Amino acid sequence: MGNSRHTSHRSLKAVILDWAGTTVDYGCMAPAAVFIETFRQHGVSVTMAQARAPMGKFKKDHIREITQMEPVAAQWRAVHGKPCSEADVEAMYHDFLPLQIAVIAQYADVIPGVVETIADFRERGLKIGSTTGYTRAIMDVLAPLAAQHGYAPDAAVCADEVPAARPYPWMCYRNQIELNVYPSEVCVKIGDTVPDIDEGLNAGMWTIGVVKCGNEIGLSEPEIAQLPYAELDARLKAGHKHLRYAGAHYTVDNLSEVPPLINAINERLASGERP
């Protein structure tokens, strides 16, 4: 006899989405620009590549990781006469937050195709959760603006609302609690950074990496439109490879390519496969 305490789970019940670079802010522009400005205010020049490298993490962790890059660490020692300390990281994080809140409204546009894809998810009976490296104070500004543009998930858990943010799974678990969805295998985590993929894998979820509209390419729509085809193709291939190497079960250019993958994951679940 089967154990009646356990339910058979043969199809997805929820998608857990990232915010910047996945559902809003094409190119994940808002955080990158503010990291550069924050370091500039402290006398240190940070490149766009350096600012983007830890993307997806809690913003204080992100700042700390930038300070540990040797070129940045060397600059910091030259400017300040000592290594960057945890107190310095705290000070920059304190400066970062109001800067990010001040500009976030400029980056609240929903990425093309997202509203229609969310409607597709809902027609399938999927619940819509979300996680972010942003704090609640930032999300309190961003979420209402995104809702005005047609995107409002059922749950939004922020990096400062859990004991530890990405790559830890706690934000995903909080989504499961708020959405009343279990086990983790009936959820798929979708995001545009390696920490997004790590978060989903650590939570025991299926994972999908988003490449073209996210941090892997790091360009706005008009900037992408100006790229020569060969260069864009090479960058897209590199982005897909990077997120797949990180462990993503699937990768897509943007969210609108996900619905067929929902079918594919459901088939794998029905056959008894797990993430």
Residue 275 falls inside a structural domain = no
Average of per-residue pLDDT across 214-239: 97
User: pLDDT at position 60, please?
Assistant: 95
Assess whether pLDDT exceeds 60 at residue 3: no
Residue 93: helix, strand or coil by DSSP?
A: helix
Residues 95 and 227 in one domain: no
Confidence of residue 19 (pLDDT cuts 50, 70, 90): very high
Residues 73 and 201 in one domain: no
Domain end residue (candidates: 49, 82, 106)? 106
Residue 172: give its domain's CATH number.
3.40.50.1000
Token digits for 140?
């309190």
Residue 62: give its domain's CATH number.
1.10.150.240
Integer Cα distance of 265 and 271 in angstroms: 10
Enzyme catalytic residues: 18, 59
C-alpha to C-alpha distances, 213 to 22, 100, 175, 191, nearest whole angstrom: 7, 20, 24, 10
Among the listed residues 6, 16, 21, 32, the one whose alpha carbon sits nearest the alpha carbon of residue 213: 21
Residue 133 falls inside a structural domain = yes
Residue 9 falls inside a structural domain = no
Which residues have a Cβ under 8 Å from the Cβ of 97 and sit 6 or more positions away?
Answer: 59, 135, 137, 138
- pLDDT tens digit string along 105-144? 999 999 999 999 999 999 999 999 999 999 999 999 999 9
Cis link prior to 222 (omega < 30° from 0)?
Answer: no
Residues 99 and 69 in one domain: yes
Residue 59 falls inside a structural domain = yes
Domain end residue (candidates: 106, 134, 154)? 106
Q: How many domains does the chain have?
A: 2
Confidence of residue 72 (pLDDT cuts 50, 70, 90): very high
Among the listed residues 81, 84, 85, 72, the one whose alpha carbon sits nearest the alpha carbon of residue 44: 72
The parent domain of residue 96 ranges over 30-106
Q: Classify residue 233 as exposed, middle or buried by CB count within 10 Å of its CB (0-12, 13-18, 19+).
A: exposed
Residues 118 and 243 in one domain: yes
Assess whether pLDDT exceeds 90 at residue 2: no
Residues 130 and 169 in one domain: yes
